[in-house]
Structure 1
Amino acid sequence: MREYTIVNILYTRKVPVKMNELTAELGLSERTVRDVLRSLDKTGERHGFGIRMIRGQGYLLETRDNQAFHAYLDKGQLHTSQVDLDNKQSRQQYLLFYLLQSDSHQSMDHMAEEMGVSRSTIISDLKEVEQRLAAFCLKLARRAHYGMRIEGDEKDFRKAFSYFILQPGHTLQHTEDFRAYEREFDIARLKAYLLYILKERELKISDVFLDNIVTHLFILLYRVSKHNFIVAGQAAQSYPEPLYRELAGSIAGWIETHYQITLPADEVDYLALHISGKTIMERMSEETKSHLREGISGILERLDREFLTGFNQDKDLREALLLHMFPLLNRLYYNLQLGNPLVEDVYSQYANVFVISFRFAEIIEEQYGFRMSRDEAGYVALHFAAHLERMQQRNLEKFKRIAVICSTGAGSAQLIRLKLESVFPKASVITASITEVDEISSKPVDLILSTVPLATEIKEKPVIHIKQLLDDQEIQRIKEILSLQINRTKPSYKLMDFKELFRRELFHLDGPDDYTELLKLRCREMVEHHHAADDFPEQVLFREQKFTTIYKNGVAGPHPMRMSAIRDCISVTVLKKPLVYEGKPVQLIFLINLGPGQLFLHKEISKLLLVLMEKEDSRSRLLSVNSYEQFIHEIENLL
């Protein structure tokens, strides 16, 4: 079954699929996936296909004998439900597919027979299925002698349908009835019409939000075709603004013309609410703008005090949040929060700004009474990430006079100077030999870069040791070092050695079998060593409940909701056998404890974790260490 699932993923994608994507979709370890891929070599030889690994891209399915491969397809091996009976998550996904696409009651015995598992397995899986449905305010209603079916408000059903049925990349097959409806739905023509009427009314929309509205309309038409309607009171307690009601009316008229479906007034109102929460209205009234600006400025001031940042001084950030907040508050008011297909990638690459974004969400809830989802917080995080990137560039522009000390001759020094002028276009770059160090140190330079170690320390001037030849990786390293130096809480031109964050007393090669218990133990250890405040354990666990910090391939970076470390440090736990938490395996745990003002340092830690997520050989070396000394040696190789 696992072989069929992997082949189906590769066959439907048509492009190389990375190992971390396969492990995430299958819920299996890398070792297991590699074993399955090896067994597929023999299967492919018999059925006319092969799987090729392309370095840096992933695994690609290639057909060598189309007739044999299509015979393999015709046997139904790829058109089955593709449920991996050995994988609990795969079985639960199948049950959700089965129940959400069925309008009638389904018996437990029938589902067990369909899946080929025991009744007791179905009973066990349904307990967690019910929990997943409860998150959408839906329940499994049981009726004696008939079976069970999903019940709840139609708007909640549609949210669950979108989340579980229309997620990209799943391996389960839709029902024939659903596929037939998909074939009749003309997405391109609908998108073109939506863009036309939005532009006509001076409304802007992002590609992600446009796709979200198209998905909503597809589910709307499919459900209405089955006589499932939004009824009065389900959508909201108040009517949408006239502009959006007019827009929804136009779309309803287009639907009636092209699909011969007449939408009831409640459906039109619900559609209007979706549009109001996903479009940007440039004609926003000055009164509304003024009110929002005041609220955003107040929130940014609080964040600046807590994180020692300068968000409120960034006009671009304030304006970006202004345009984002208007539809966001509409979505929150009508409980129509967006899904975010980028949230996992954004979180793994910008874990530092998610700390800010979740605090932003807390303040929104406190001031407006609306609770933001983690997906919505992901969209807000992108604005803060853009701010930090702008700040990094502006900080680099502060270096106006740069001296390069090079001992290999004028040609090498000239090449370095030309490279640096491309990085610091507003700076004056001069070169000097090692014999001119004293003279250079007395001049008003902002930065000294040296290809050789300096015999004497130069006080009050930043000095960075660089390679003889500056490649892209070295230039990036210089930028990151300068960002860390400029943004340190305490002014210092000496970059703290990254290794100092790791401490012998905070390094472990084992721990409790329960992930939550392990975090509690490591947090208490931080407090006992006086590295963290007393509420550190509470903050970390609260953060984990909001959104688990377990990333891809067993790497985790838990951290608190507040950056309030007494001493910056990282607790490390390396587990020989992975734990599983919320369906995710975890084996390398980096518990991050940083103080206010260390967002850029948090970013560098995130980059280290990202390397471990993406590079299997780096992970393997860390997982094989048996002592703190070996761990530090491997970290040195990674930095």
Structure 2
Amino acid sequence: MNKVLVETLLDNSDKWMKATELASICGCTTRTIRNHVAKMNKMTEKLIVSSEKGYRLDMMKYPTFLNNKNTQELTKRNREIYIIRHLLENSGRGVDIFDLADKLYVSESTVKTDIQRLKKELVKSNLLIKTVDDICFLQGSEQAKRKFMISVLYEEGNAQNELKENIQEMIGHISLSDLENDIKETALEYGLEMNQYSLNNLVMHFAITIERISGGNLLKKRISHALEMESLEYKIAKKITQTLEKKHAIIFSEGEIEQLSIMFVGLQQEGKLDKSSIHQFVDDKIIDILKEVIQKVEETYLIRFDNEDFLNKLALHVQNLYDRSKVNNFTRNDSLLDIKMSYPLIYDISVFISSYITEQLDILLNDDEISFIALHIGAYFEAELNDKEALKAVLISYEYPEIIKQLQKKIEKLCADEIEIADDTWQIDKNQQPFIITTNRKVLLKYPGAVLVHPFLTKKDEEKIRHRVAAIKNFQHQEKMFHYIDKYFDASLFFGQIDPASYTKKAIINQLVSKMAVQNYVDLNFENLVLEREEMSPTSFPSGAAVPHAMKMIAHKSCVGVMTLQEPIKWENQEVSLILLIAISKPDVSEFNDFLEKIVELISEKSYVRELTKAETFENFILKLKMLSGNALSEM
């Protein structure tokens, strides 16, 4: 991905390229482009210049990039993945070190060094590389090899399209889309419906099984936790393997079928579910736990989840999750980072729910499983909580009533749910400053900001209305953000340009909470609540910022503690140089929901984090924060 990005910018070095153009060429999202630009600029500072015009390669920095040790480090990891894949594909006959060196265009000593690093990494996966006369063999159980193969595929493909390309390459002549259809159609024959994420996970495991069988690596033994042959899961797996055997002459052993059948454990007949049948599919204990935690969510976040269909679907998912945990089978969600960055409040609520489920059911949930719960919450928000306040608008026109009626319909259709139009008999409250649309020039002088349109809308009129709606909404958002900044940020809680030589994540949280406690914002036990939230899922982002906070709104007074670091530190799997520790009191919960969304959107941009981290004083930090929040809104 990084290689394609740099090569594309190199080929177009004489012009700016929009993120949408690059995303189209690289087969990913614009967010992925931003993340990769940040990675490349981390390797070589300001290698890729960004502006409102798009992205451009700095040709003066390009030679430095080619010789940069970080670039070489990237190549090193690519070599390691190449070696791993060849070891997995040639488990029986092994791989010649000299052949690897030739194919990778490096020396034999370089390959040997790569293999030494891999040996240490593979120990955690119960795998071992053994070398005999310059031939390397990968030793370990077949199940361990398959599990490690999944992690390699996900590392190679950090976007959905890339992941699919890697899987397709792995299974060769077998069409990935055909494989997906075979699985989906067979499941439907047995009345089993699943979401796209579950389907992707099944395709992944079937593809790996096909690749391993093709390479002569079979699961021959029956597994200890095998399902009964009369079970629905076994029947579905058996039918799919029979279809694949017929199409592609691939022979699946009983051990293979049993292993694949476990992947269907817990997937319920969701499409046929109604209110009376929920207890047929879900344990009463799980339903009771979910009712309890949803009540706690309502009390904590002041958001009501009173939709029974939402509870039923979430209950099915948790039952699925609980069943799979018994056979140590968790689902991978490749959209995790997108969910965490794009929907921080939804993700935070899912962490809250997951924490309670973990405690009550005594199971371990990873970040991927948390993000699946976030998808259920997000779907509910989309359907039930579309509470974006429409912009108040008044149409003032002295044309014929029928013309006014048609004009209003066209404007409402143009702006969908963004504006709410009233007739001109409204008493216009100048304090509320409604959006005025008029066909009369004299009205323009009376109401600044009004938009003049023709009785029959032209393309130019439509453009003017859209532009004005966006400008007003951006201004309102900016005012709200400035309100949050002035209310929550305190100079006494600012620690700027700290040398992180002896700092850890825990030490930073301790220092910020201790200062908050001295100022009577929180009690000292608030630190434990913040650490509990971090343990469930780290609050760090690829942009270089972290937003630690508690899952309980128990601050005496809401505030944000700030620490900027001279050099980044490791915050779980991210390097962080800006920390915003948030403490919220009960009266401010409804504001927190909006504030968290806005602040995460802001600090998700690497360039913004870099700018904020440069601030020497609290006043300078606040000035930059307000300026950047305005920039972020103008880019929406």
Q: Would you call these one fold, judging by a TM-score over 0.5?
A: yes
Q: Distance in 2 between matches of 1:56 and 1:275?
A: 48
Q: Distance in 2 between matches of 1:213 and 1:100?
A: 20
In 2, are the aligned partners of 1:23 and 1:553 still within 8 Å (CA)? no
Partner SS for 2:128: strand
Q: Which residue of 2 aligns with 1:368?
A: 361
Listed one character per residue, the Cα deviations across residues 277-301 of structure 1 (whole Å, up to 9, x for unaligned) are: 4564445655324635444323322
Unaligned runs of 5+ in 1: 39-52, 61-76, 438-447, 453-465, 485-494
In 2, are the aligned partners of 1:508 and 1:574 still within 8 Å (CA)? yes
Q: Distance in 1 between matches of 2:292 and 2:158?
A: 43
Listed one character per residue, the Cα deviations across residues 602-637 of structure 1 (whole Å, up to 9, x for unaligned) are: 443332332343373x44542332211111122222
Matched, 1:163 2:155: no
Instruction: Tell me how far 1:563 sits from its aligned partner.
Output: 3.6
RMSD: 4.9
Equivalent of residue 592 in structure 2, options 598, 601, 620: 601
Partner SS for 1:393: coil
More displaced stretch, 544-553 vs 340-349: 544-553
In 1, are the aligned partners of 2:153 and 2:167 still within 8 Å (CA)? no
Q: Which residue of 1 aligns with 2:336?
A: 343
Q: What letter is aligned with 2:145?
A: F
Q: Which residue of 1 aligns with 2:25?
A: 15
Q: Which residue of 2 aligns with 1:227?
A: 216
Matched, 1:303 2:297: yes
Partner SS for 2:543: helix
- Aligned length, in residue pairs: 553
Q: Which residue of 2 aligns with 1:570?
A: 560
Partner SS for 2:554: coil
Listed one character per residue, the Cα deviations across residues 518-576 of structure 1 (whole Å, up to 9, x for unaligned) are: 33332333333332332333333343344332213222222234443232111222234
Q: Which residue of 2 aligns with 1:50?
A: none
Equivalent of residue 198 in structure 2, options 198, 209, 213: 209
In 2, are the aligned partners of 1:22 and 1:33 still within 8 Å (CA)? no
Equivalent of residue 140 in structure 1, options 128, 132, 135: 128
Q: What letter is aligned with 2:369?
A: E
Q: Which residue of 2 aligns with 1:382?
A: 375
In 2, are the aligned partners of 1:23 and 1:29 still within 8 Å (CA)? no
Q: Distance in 2 between matches of 1:602 and 1:278?
A: 32
Q: Which residue of 2 aligns with 1:472?
A: 470
Q: Which residue of 1 aligns with 2:256?
A: 267
Instruction: Tell me how far 1:248 sits from its aligned partner.
Output: 1.3
Q: Distance in 1 between matches of 2:365 and 2:582?
A: 24
In 2, are the aligned partners of 1:338 and 1:375 still within 8 Å (CA)? yes
Q: Which residue of 2 aligns with 1:253?
A: 242
Q: Which residue of 1 aligns with 2:460?
A: none
Partner SS for 1:204: coil
Q: Distance in 1 between matches of 2:509 and 2:76?
A: 25
In 2, are the aligned partners of 1:553 and 1:613 still within 8 Å (CA)? yes
Instruction: Tell me how far 1:99 sits from its aligned partner.
Output: 4.5
Q: Distance in 2 between matches of 1:223 and 1:34?
A: 42
Equivalent of residue 622 in structure 1, options 608, 612, 619: 612
Q: What letter is aligned with 2:148?
A: A
Instruction: Tell me how far 1:590 sits from its aligned partner.
Output: 1.6
Q: Distance in 1 between matches of 2:336 and 2:386?
A: 25
Instruction: Tell me how far 1:4 sits from its aligned partner.
Output: 8.1
Partner SS for 1:185: coil
More displaced stretch, 525-534 vs 629-638: 525-534
Q: Distance in 2 between matches of 1:499 and 1:620?
A: 22
Q: Distance in 2 between matches of 1:588 and 1:188?
A: 43
Partner SS for 2:329: coil
The residue correspondences of 1:330-479 to structure 2 (distance < 5 A) are 330-389=323-382, 392-393=385-386, 422-423=417-418, 431-432=426-427, 470-472=468-470, 474-475=472-473
Instruction: Tell me how far 1:216 sits from its aligned partner.
Output: 1.2
Aligned pair in 2 of structure 1 residues 5, 581: CA closer, same or farther (>3 Å)?
Answer: farther
Aligned pair in 2 of structure 1 residues 626, 476: CA closer, same or farther (>3 Å)?
Answer: closer
Aligned pair in 2 of structure 1 residues 109, 501: CA closer, same or farther (>3 Å)?
Answer: farther
Instruction: Tell me how far 1:375 sits from its aligned partner.
Output: 0.5
Matched, 1:504 2:491: yes
Q: Which residue of 1 aligns with 2:121?
A: 129
Partner SS for 1:527: helix
In 2, are the aligned partners of 1:244 and 1:272 still within 8 Å (CA)? yes
Instruction: Tell me how far 1:366 sits from its aligned partner.
Output: 2.7
The residue correspondences of 1:84-163 to structure 2 (distance < 5 A) are 84-85=72-73, 93=81, 96-97=84-85, 99-103=87-91, 116=107, 122=114, 125-126=117-118, 129-130=121-122, 134=124, 137-140=125-128, 150-163=138-151
Q: Which residue of 1 aligns with 2:41?
A: 30
Q: Which residue of 2 aligns with 1:71?
A: none
Q: Distance in 2 between matches of 1:193 and 1:228?
A: 23
Unaligned runs of 5+ in 2: 12-21, 58-65, 399-403, 437-447, 452-467, 631-636
Instruction: Tell me how far 1:348 sits from its aligned partner.
Output: 1.0
Instruction: Tell me how far 1:380 sits from its aligned partner.
Output: 0.5
Given the two structures, how large is their TM-score scaled by the length of structure 1? Answer: 0.71
Q: What letter is aligned with 1:15?
A: I
Matched, 1:193 2:191: no
Q: Distance in 2 between matches of 1:372 and 1:331?
A: 11
